[in-house]
Each structure stands twice: as structure tokens, then as C-alpha cells.
Structure 1
């Protein structure tokens, strides 16, 4: 009985050794060579990304907060308004009154007056605080200043005009 256990253990050990040898031959045959650890540096954009400013609500007042930016997405802050506050922001008592619907932003206008048109995907009701969030976040997105934030109607809204409201952060000073 003991001898059969020893023979069985020896057979398993030999089979494992043969398997390792076969894998090594196959991998080497594919041109895979062993190397030391290769340092590739930090992840793309890690630490190099800036921040965007988003205005959220705390105890009924507009509060400026920052989130990580993505290079090439200068209007990310507008899209972020439609997203729920992060867990960290919620733990600090921050919330948002911006309706949960995708928002699209686009720049237009001249070099003297830039216009940020913001269009919701759906026709939704906007509270005064939500409009303040949109106005202040939109103005913060323009690093050169002199922007006008225009809230347009959702696509497919039948009644004219196309522009719903022209917004300015200064009109919401009482909420800051």
C-alpha cells in the first residue's frame, strides 16, 4: 500500500516536470523571452490631468468643487452636472438639482463673445438652483472669461424659440 503511494507521487512529480518543460519549449518557440521588470512610468494622464470646476448645492447654496479633467474635453464639466455627486461629495453634504438627463454643450459665437449652448437630451423642469449650477459651471469652463451661457430647448420640442434662457452666474449671487 505504501509503495503504491510512493509510485503515485513519483508519477505526479514526473508529469508536472514534463508539463513545465513542454510549456517552456512552446513559449520559447513563440519567441517569448524572459525579461526583468520594465518600468513604463505613470499611467497616461495620471497626475498630469487638471481639474474642472462644477457647482453643486450644499444647504441650499451653490458651492464650487473640482473634479478630475480629461484632456480634450473642455466641456466635461457641463456633462458632469447631469451625473450624481460622487460618494466623497455626498459625504460632504453636496448634492445637485440639475435634472438627470444627458446635457450637450457646444461653443459658438465670435472671438469677443463666446456662447456656450447647453442642450438637455429631454425637456425637463429646471429649478432656480439648477439654473445657477449650470450658469456658474458654464462660466467656469471658459478660462478666457466673457462667456454667455445659453440653455436651449431639447431636440424635438415643438414650440419656438430655440433658446430657453440666457444665464449668468451673477444672477445667482444670492445662492452663493
Structure 2
């Protein structure tokens, strides 16, 4: 048994020696230049969201983030920047809501407790008309969005198309 192991070890050493000497076909080339380092070009996209000043909506722009098309809607639930606060802006969106792209150019907003009666919007507990306007106007301002459908969070009832101009009395 000992001779077999010794023979196998010698054979493995011989194969390794041959491969090391042959270099597997790779020839030394020295140092090659690969050019300059990577340079980023381009501008960060901007996003528009609607915040509240007093009782009216004001469109503001913030830097966008590539690959995050829904960022403006998620930003409505975040604290405003120090500069926005100095300008008297705040967000009223503090209730949960849902959103999804349901077709090219169409975004669906799901608002808890919302329902429609006789063509009028009946807001659920905790939601204000200003809060709904923030959602609709921000969604409509997103690149590629042409239609905003609003429905109840529960999915009961039908979805209604809303436009920001429905809230023109709230716009600055």
C-alpha cells in the first residue's frame, strides 16, 4: 500500500512539473496599458413630487435614482429636506397606500378606505383631499405615466381615472 501512494505522489509531481515548465501555452508579455480609468458621464435624472405649503400643493424637484421609477411616490412618505422645510413645505402622506404599473403609461394607486359614490370621491378615515392630491399629482408627474387609476386598497369597487387638474384649486 505504501508503494502505491509513493508512486501516485511521484506521478502527480511529474505532471505538475511538466505543466509548470510548459506554462500551459501562456507566454510572458510584460506590462500592457489598458487605457485610462472609467469616467462617468451623464446627468442624474430629476423627479417631481408634490408637497404641501399651507393648504396648497407645490411641485418640487429632487435628484432621481436610475432604476427606481416609483421613487417619487415613496418619497412622499419621507421627511422633507431641510431646504424644503425652510420654504414651508411638508408632506401630508403618512397613511399606507399601494401602487403598481398596470399597463404601459398607467399607474394604479390603492388608497385604504377610498370609495366612489355618484362620481364623487369619498375618502376613508385618516385621508384628506390634499393627501390624495399629492399622490395623484406626483404619480402623473412621473416620466412615462399618462394615466393614474385610483381605487380602494381592498380592491372593492372600480378604479377611477384621476388627473392632477382635478385638484387645480389646490395647486400653487
TM-score (normalizing by structure 1)? 0.59
Q: Within the alignment, does 1:139 sit opposite 2:143 as a pair?
A: no
| SS at structure 2 position matched to 1:136 | helix
Question: Are the equivalent residues in 2 in contact too, given 1:131–1:167 (CA < 8 A)?
Answer: no
Structure 1 vs Structure 2 CA RMSD: 2.8
Separation of aligned partners in 1, 2:88 and 2:142: 23
- CA 1:66 to 1:40, structure 2 compared with 1: closer, same or farther past 3 Å? farther
Separation of aligned partners in 2, 1:54 and 1:134: 9
Separation of aligned partners in 1, 2:147 and 2:62: 23
1:67-106 to structure 2, matched below 5 A, reads 67-101=62-96, 103-106=97-100
| SS at structure 2 position matched to 1:129 | helix
Count of aligned pairs: 125
TM-score (normalizing by structure 2)? 0.60
1:50 Cα shift? 1.1
Separation of aligned partners in 2, 1:115 and 1:141: 11
Q: Which residue pairs with 2:130 in the alignment?
A: 129
Question: Are the equivalent residues in 2 in contact too, given 1:84–1:96 (CA < 8 A)?
Answer: yes
Superposed CA deviations along residues 44-68 of structure 1, whole A, max 9, x for unmatched, are 78x7311100000112111010111
Separation of aligned partners in 2, 1:100 and 1:83: 12
Question: Which structure carries more relative contact order (alpha carbon 8 Å, separation 6+)?
Answer: 2
